[in-house]
Structures are given as C-alpha cells and as structure tokens.
Amino acid sequence: MDWIPSITTTSLLGVAIWLGKNAVLERLKRSIQHEFNEKLENLRADIREKENQIEALRSGALSGVQHRQAALYDRRLQATEDIWSAVNSMAGAKNISAMMATIKFDAAAKEAAQNEQFREIFKVMGGAFDVKKLDLSGASKSRPYISHLAWAYYSAYQSIVMHAVIQMEMLKAGLNKDFSKTEEITKLVKVALPHQEEYIEKHGLSACHYLLEELESKLLTQIENILNGVEADQESLEKAAEILKEADSLMEANEKSTQEM
C-alpha cells in the first residue's frame, strides 16, 4: 500500500499543474482579450476621429460652396438690376428713337444742311436728352454675370436707340452725310428678331424702333431665366454669338462715326 500516497501525491500534483495551467491560460486569454479590446477601442476612436475630421471637411467644403453660390446669386441679382436700370436710363434715347422713326432722314439731313432754322427744330426736339450724361457703365460691369443671350438683346436694344441719337445729332449739326450705318442696324435687328425680317424689309429703318418693346420683353425673359437658374442651351449660345457679332461691329462703327462728326 506504499504506492498509494505516491499516486495520491502524483495525482494531486497533476491536478495542481492542470489547474495552474488552466489558470495561466485563462489569465493569458483575459490579458490577450483585454489587449485586443483596448486596441479595438483605440481603433474605433481613431476611426471616429477621422470620420469627424472628414465630416468637418465635408461640412466646410459644402459651406464654402453654398457661400460662393449665394454670393454668385447675389451678384447675378445685382447684375440683372444693373442691366434693367441701364435700359430705363435710355428712356430719353428711346424717345428720340420714336421721333426719328417718323422722319425721312435723307430728306431731313439735306434740308438741315442748308437751313439753320430747320436745324433748330431738331435742337428743340432733342433738347431734353443729353447723351453725355448717359451712364451705362453699370450694365458693362454686369456682363460677366448675365447670360450671353441677355447681353445680346441688351446690345441690340442699345444699338437701336443710340443709332437714333446719332441721327438726331447729325440733324442738329446740319451734316448732310449719313454716318449712322443704317444697313448695319437693320441687319442686327434681323439677326436678333429673325421672325420680323419681312416687317423690317417692308418698313425699313423705322421698323427698328417699333421692335424695341419686343426686345425688352425678350430681355426680361432672359433675366427671369437667370434668376431661376435656367442654363442656356447650345442654340441660345449660338444665337447670342451671332447677335453680339453684329452689335459689336455696329457699336464700333458708330463710335468711329461719332469721332468723325
């Protein structure tokens, strides 16, 4: 029976070792699990921090875009006000256009060249308007912020009324020479309002004045499109380019004519 204590001791030792081993393994597992959880939490914290940074960047970028869009809209709003204000400031020139639409310019220019009293009539007729006081600089500054077609209709409108002003100035000065580029102005209006070509062909230069209201209406439509964020299509861009080509050519010719006067 001497072996019994030995077995018991051995068994107890084995159990102790097994328990100790399990305890070590359990502590090791807990240590590893704790370390893993700690790293996982740190990783989650890093991810949350990066998400917050990304969200902050996104919010900042979005805020910047919204701010720029708001600023651009405000500038476009101001531009539409400036362009329409310029149209209103040309009311005096529009009145002269109405007068000139009823006058046969060639005959009037011939008479004005040799009759001072006749010239005085036009000085009285155009006396309320001083072209030197006409300030259209606000409209020029608005050009980058309005549509090409809006600027084209404005340019056509301006060309018509300023053409009439030039003719009035020639009659007041008694110049029997037409510096006013009549053919160019009718061509411009035909390009701006192609559906009115037959009317222009029938009534000639005087027809241009009676189409000013239609140009105003088209300009207002373009202003409305700008305020509503309606983008111009390819057809509109091509039409605008065609009108502006004629308008720029006419304005250049008018400036040269004014210098010659």
- Evaluate if residue 234 carries a pLDDT over 90: no
**What is the rounded average pLDDT of the residues 32-38?**
67
d(CA 42, CA 61): 28
Binned at pLDDT 50, 70 and 90, residue 3 comes out as very low
Q: What is the pLDDT of residue 121?
A: 87
- Evaluate if residue 190 carries a pLDDT over 60: yes
Kindly report the number of other CB atoms within 10 A of residue 121's CB atom: 15
d(CA 188, CA 157): 10
Q: From residue 55, how far is each of 42, 50, 52, 66, 121 by CA, in Å?
A: 20, 8, 5, 16, 74
Average pLDDT, the chain: 78
**What is the rounded average pLDDT of the residues 181-208?**
87
Q: What is the pLDDT of residue 17?
A: 60
Question: Which residue shows structure tokens 């006013």?
Answer: 180
Q: From residue 208, how far is each of 97, 116, 161, 185, 190 by CA, in Å?
A: 9, 29, 9, 8, 9
- Evaluate if residue 7 carries a pLDDT over 70: no
SS3 30: helix
Lowest-pLDDT choice from 21-30, 120-129, 234-243: 21-30
- Evaluate if residue 235 carries a pLDDT over 90: no
Q: What is the pLDDT of residue 8?
A: 57
Q: pTM of this prediction?
A: 0.70
Lowest-pLDDT choice from 11-20, 98-107, 115-124, 251-260: 11-20
In tens, the pLDDT along 132-188 reads 888 888 888 888 888 888 998 998 999 899 889 888 888 888 887 665 567 788 888
